[in-house]
Structure 1
Amino acid sequence: MTRLIYLDYAATTPILPEISQAIIRCFSIEGDFGNPASQSHHYGWDAAQHITASRQHVADLIHATPQEIIWTSGATESNNLAIKGTLDHYKNQNKHIITSKIEHKAVLDTCAELESLGFEVTYLQPELGTGVIHPEQVEQAIQPNTVLISLMMVNNEIGTLTDIQTIGQIAHQHKIIFHVDAAQAAGKAFIDVQAMHIDLLSLSAHKIYGPKGIGALYVRREVQKQIKTQIHGGGHEQGLRSGTLATHQIVGMGEACRLAKISLVKEQQRIQKLRNQFLAGLQALTPVQLNGHPTAHVANYLNVSFLGEQADAILSAIKQVAAVSSGSACNSHHATPSHVLNALGVTEELAANTVRFSFGIYTNEENIKDLITELKTFLRSSKKAVRFSFS
């Protein structure tokens, strides 16, 4: 079986070889397999040193301090800890949260749960077509009882960037805790939690060529005492998240963050060229509609709706050649249209003919040319078939 061209990096990324090797060294008796909490022998000391180094790598990527990095099982847990941990202090107090209609389900479902407990949530409407959340929208939505703003930096379906720095300034001025889901932003966009006035920031390793099952939550030192623990048992991670630390996964995430920081600028430039080339190739072949902002985006994502009578057939042709997504991986098992596209004003019919292409480190010019060539061949053959049917 011929392997498909992988263009679904937004769903997950392969682990880089050097990261795999670092992970493997933490498994065996000859390696650093010890429990980092065991401080009576060198097995535990060695593992703890790896944890410390990895925490520093994550902190360096987002311009934080190591003491502000809390290990979690992934961005979903980080989002839950950030939002529920903040709001747990305000039970039965009718407090208010601001988020948007195009957040990841880990945020939307958490906010829906809090609504059922009596909290009020404002879901901001993004700009139609682009998905932009404007800072003035956020400021206008603030109420006297607003305690949390939760917005993603890069949308996981369309790649649109949010003006986090301006929104962070607004939150800071109003003394509101600001949470950012940066699962799709890390390694793709510059992040400085200090300059951006971010209090809580969610990260995931498997979006940046690290292992699945590990993530982190940045918690600004000044707000750590305001976050209520969600997983109890041992008081690990500044008392915010108990559980034996998975040294191998943490080492993998640390290495992924270290490498991401080094390659960010050049990799974005390289992928942007491929994205431009691919979009131009699609537009030359068939009518398409771009979903997302034309310039305020990371290079890695391209979300397009195919127009015209052949749209459904073109989608089928693409999926025979490339591994792509019709939405976010978390929602791909649902038959309903993407909530992101719906919020952007994309019709249900058009949403059904939409593809998210996402590019990564192994994407090259040959992949782009091969996919465009396959589509050209398909369109030529379909035109011949139409002519034949009328002859």
Structure 2
Amino acid sequence: MIYFDHNATTPVDPRVLAAMLPLFAEQCANASSGHVAGRAVARLVEQARGQVAALVGANRRNVVFTSGATEAVNLAIRGVLAGAGSPRRRILVSATEHKAVLAAAAQAVSIHGGTVGLVRVLPDGTPDLDHLAASLSSDVVLVAVMAANSETGAIADVGRAAQLAHGAGALFLCDVTQAAGKIPVALDAGEIDLAVLSAHKIYGPKGVGALLASRRLQARLTPLIVGGGQERGLRSGTINSAGIVGFGQAATIAAAELAADADRLRRLTALLHHLLTEKLDGVALNGPTVTRLPNTLNLRFVDADADAVMTAMPQVAVSAGSACQGSSTEPSHVLTAMGLGATAASQSLRFSLGRPSTAEEVQAAVGHVVSAVEHVRALGAD
């Protein structure tokens, strides 16, 4: 199997697994317990808090551990709206946000009242910040614009988006799940009020993520899960100490290897793009040519249904959209928001390379993709 679906999830780095294993056996104590063993685990958790914060340029006190970015998004959006005073009851979200952001915003206003507005994106998938500026008003409580899109790799100008939001008196939420570990992220620049990320996108374990917010903002949030008051009362329940330690180790490795990984993956992705366009006609890039994640390539293969192409090349793991789409047969909401029709969107595949990817895999994958596309096109011509 040639695995080119790292934006959906990454394999756990062996160095991460090695850091986690003791937490399942000899260091199995509950981090909330007051005895020596519990305090030792608590220190490891706090160390991981600092490691995650360092990856995204934040203060360790701002990190609240969750079960993943989806829970963190729900905590942020619903928590802000629950604590918002009238007349600010409107949320603005980029049209290409992750489904978790779109769904959390819709549910938050259904529970607490208010409305959700969509911010258009440009044809290359980057947010239309002029439309954001025109959409802002005194009733907007929160603006959500992701740092980088999982399907196209489009990188947003979050600095300007945050300035626009703050200029209207709104908070700014940024999903940095795909950006962290791939491009530099600096949350302490004062631009981003709330951010979310997940361990399993940076070669850490599934089932652990984080919300980053100042202590002032944390005090404003209403928890989704109540109980023993862990994670400063925002996420009750026995913490996933092994997962958190793995998250911390993954963050440290990602920070140390970011530049080298990005350079290598940029070259491999460019090679993949070059070879596919050289060997196949009717290949179009979805997304920016430059302001794109170094590992991500979204291509339309004209007259070749993406699902059929994937079926015809079981040796290569790619995606016909975000993993959050599940088994949905609907076209990608990201691609249609960029202006692609349903047919064009359904002919598009995302290739997302990762730390284990090699030039040899790229060469082999190209052969499989070319054969599969030609096979599907031939079936359609019959």
TM norm structure 2: 0.93
Q: 1: distance between equivalents of 2:379 and 2:30?
A: 65
Contact 2:120 2:128 in 1 (8 A): no
Q: 1:312 to 1:168 in 2, by over 3 A?
A: closer
Whether 1:155 aligns to 2:152 is no
Q: 1: distance between equivalents of 2:66 and 2:315?
A: 36
User: Equivalent residue for 1:168?
Assistant: 162
Whether 1:326 aligns to 2:320 is yes
User: Equivalent residue for 2:202?
Assistant: 208
SS of equivalent residue, structure 1 residue 26: helix
Whether 1:14 aligns to 2:11 is yes
- Which shifted more, 312-321 or 41-50? 312-321
- 1:319: how far off? 2.8
Q: In the alignment, residue 35 of structure 1 is paired with which amino acid?
A: N
Task: State the number of aligned residues.
Answer: 379
Structure 1 segments of 4+ aligned residues over 4 angstroms from their partners:
91-94, 310-314, 375-386
Contact 1:80 1:110 in 2 (8 A): yes
Q: In the alignment, residue 318 of structure 2 is paired with which amino acid?
A: V
Alpha-carbon deviations, 1:235-266, whole Å to 9, x = none?
Answer: 22122211111110000100011111001111
Q: 2: distance between equivalents of 1:383 and 1:182?
A: 37
User: Equivalent residue for 1:109?
Assistant: 103
Contact 2:316 2:368 in 1 (8 A): no
SS of equivalent residue, structure 2 residue 96: coil
User: Equivalent residue for 1:36?
Assistant: 31
- What fraction of aligned residue pairs are identical, expressed as a percent? 35
User: Equivalent residue for 1:219?
Assistant: 213
Alpha-carbon deviations, 1:190-249, whole Å to 9, x = none?
Answer: 111121511110010001100000000001233222212221112221222111111100
Q: Please, which runs of 5 or more residues in structure 1 have no aligned partner?
A: none
- 1:116: how far off? 2.7
Contact 2:312 2:372 in 1 (8 A): no
Alpha-carbon deviations, 1:164-189, whole Å to 9, x = none?
Answer: 11112222333321111111111012
User: Equivalent residue for 2:283?
Assistant: 288
Q: In the alignment, residue 36 of structure 1 is paired with which amino acid?
A: A
Q: 1: distance between equivalents of 2:256 and 2:339?
A: 38
Q: 1:221 to 1:159 in 2, by over 3 A?
A: same
Q: 2: distance between equivalents of 1:154 and 1:145?
A: 27
User: Equivalent residue for 1:302?
Assistant: 297
Q: 1:53 to 1:141 in 2, by over 3 A?
A: same
- 1:67: how far off? 1.1
- 1:372: how far off? 1.9
SS of equivalent residue, structure 2 residue 187: coil
Contact 2:199 2:250 in 1 (8 A): yes
SS of equivalent residue, structure 1 residue 99: strand
- Which shifted more, 175-184 or 274-283? 175-184
Q: In the alignment, residue 24 of structure 1 is paired with which amino acid?
A: L
Contact 1:94 1:120 in 2 (8 A): no
- 1:269: how far off? 0.6
Alpha-carbon deviations, 1:259-305, whole Å to 9, x = none?
Answer: 11001111111000000000011111122111111111111211111
Q: In the alignment, residue 52 of structure 1 is paired with which amino acid?
A: E
Whether 1:26 aligns to 2:23 is yes
Q: 1:352 to 1:234 in 2, by over 3 A?
A: same
Q: In the alignment, residue 204 of structure 2 is paired with which amino acid?
A: G
Q: In the alignment, residue 302 of structure 1 is paired with which amino acid?
A: L
- Which shifted more, 158-167 or 226-235? 226-235
User: Equivalent residue for 2:366?
Assistant: 372
From 156, 179, 184, give the equivalent of 1:185: 179
SS of equivalent residue, structure 2 residue 93: strand
Contact 2:181 2:202 in 1 (8 A): yes
- 1:307: how far off? 1.1
Contact 1:268 1:300 in 2 (8 A): yes
Q: 2: distance between equivalents of 1:346 and 1:384?
A: 24
Q: 2: distance between equivalents of 1:85 and 1:385?
A: 51
TM norm structure 1: 0.91
User: Equivalent residue for 1:59?
Assistant: 53
Q: 1:349 to 1:258 in 2, by over 3 A?
A: same
Q: 2: distance between equivalents of 1:21 and 1:383?
A: 46
User: Equivalent residue for 1:79?
Assistant: 73
Q: 2: distance between equivalents of 1:285 and 1:56?
A: 47
From 263, 271, 274, give the equivalent of 2:257: 263
From 138, 146, 154, give the equivalent of 2:132: 138
| Greater C-alpha Rg | 1
